[in-house]
Structure 1
Amino acid sequence: MKFEIGFSGHENIRSNHQKTIEITKDSHLTLRGDCIIGVNAKSGCADLPEELKTKLKNPDSKVTFSIKVGDENFVIEGKGHPELILSHSDDIVIRKSDFICPRTLAIKCDKASDLLPRSMVKQLQDPKTLGTFTIAVE
C-alpha cells in the first residue's frame, strides 16, 4: 500500500536533526525546527487512511519512505509498531529511536534529516519548491 503527501519548502529549512524527519501542515517554521523538511503538508498522522494506519501498527510491516524533490529522491526504511497512536492533526515524524507519541509515524528508521542530500535541502529552502513524501507499507 502506498500513500503520497505533497508538501512545500520554506526558507528556514535546515534538515540537520540526527534522529528525526518531520513534515507539517503548518506554514510557519522557525530555525528551531531543524528536523522539518517540509511545510504546508496535505496530511498529518490523523489524516492517513485507516487501512494504512492498521498496516503501520503491524510490527512485521516493512515501511519505506520516499522524499522526492525535483529529480532527487531520498529513501528511508523504518518499522511500524502496535502502540503507534497516529492521531496528530498537523505533523508526521519518523524516528531513528523507538519513541512513540501522537506525531510518530514510524520508529527505528535507518536515516534522519541530517542525511538528506544538501542539494535537496537547498531546493527545499525555496518556498516555491514542491515535494512528495511517499509512505509504502509491505
Structure 2
Amino acid sequence: MRFEIQFSGHENIRSNHQKTIEITKESHLTPSGDCIIGVNASASCADLPDSIKKKLQNPNSKVNFSIKVGSHEFIVKGRGHEDLILTHHEDIVIRKSNFVCPRTLAVKCDKASDLMPREMISLLQNPDTRGTFTIMID
C-alpha cells in the first residue's frame, strides 16, 4: 500500500530538527520551523485514505517513507501506533519518539530531518523545487 504527496521548497527550510520531519499544506514558513522539509503539500493527515489510516493505526505496521527531491532520495523507516488519530488538516509529522498528536503520521522512526543530505536541503531552499513524500506500508 502506498500514497504519494507532492510538496515544494521554501527559502526558510533548515531541516535540522533531531526528532521529527514535517511537511505542511501551509505556504508560509518561518526559520523556527526547523523540522519542516516542504510546504504546499498536496495532503495532510486528514486527507489520507481510510485504508492508509487503518494500517497506520496498527502498532505492528512497518512504514517506509521515501522523500525524493531531484535525483536524491532519503528513506525513513517507522511504525504505526494504535493511538494515531490522523485528523490534522495542514500537517504531517513523522517522529523518532512515541509521541502522538493529530499531526503524527508515524512513530519510532529511524531518522529525523537533521540527517537529510544537505544537497537535498539546498535544493529545497528554492521555492521552485518540487519533492515527493511517499508513504509505503507493508
Please indicate, yes or no, whether the TM-score normalized by the shorter chain is above 0.5: yes
CA distance in 1 between counterparts of 2:110 and 2:85 reads 21
Partner of 2:61: 61
Task: State yes or no: 1:20 paired with 2:23.
Answer: no
Q: CA deviation at 1:125?
A: 0.1
Instruction: Give 1:92 shift.
Output: 0.0
Q: Deviations over 1:61-96 (max 9, x none)?
A: 110000000000000000000100100000000000
Counterpart in the other structure of 2:106: 106
2:15 is matched by which residue type in structure 1?
Answer: S
Q: What CA distance in whole angstroms lies between the structure 1 residues aligned with 2:122 and 2:79?
A: 29
Note the C-alpha offset of 1:9. Answer: 0.1
RMSD of aligned C-alpha atoms? 0.3
Aligned match of 1:118: 118
The code of the aligned residue for 1:70 comes to G
Measure how far apart 1:29 and its partner are.
0.1
Distance in structure 2 (CA, Å) of the matches to 1:42 and 1:31: 22
Q: What displacement does 1:19 show?
A: 0.2
Any stretches of 5+ residues in structure 1 without a counterpart? none
Identity %: 70
Question: How many residue pairs get matched?
Answer: 138
> How far apart are the structure 2 equivalents of 1:49 and 1:137?
13
1:79 counterpart residue number: 79
Aligned-partner residue type, residue 39 of structure 1: V
Residue of structure 1 equivalent to 2:92:
92
Counterpart residue number, 1:52: 52
Displacement of 1:122? 0.1
Q: Distance in 2 between matches of 1:50 and 1:94?
A: 18
Q: In the alignment, what sits opposite 2:132?
A: 132
> For 1:44 and 1:9, how far apart are their aligned partners in 2?
16
Q: Find the residue that maps to 1:6 and give its secondary structure.
A: strand
* Unmatched 5+ stretches in structure 2: none
Distance 2:61 2:104 in 1: 15
Runs of 4+ in 1 over 2 A off after TM superposition: none
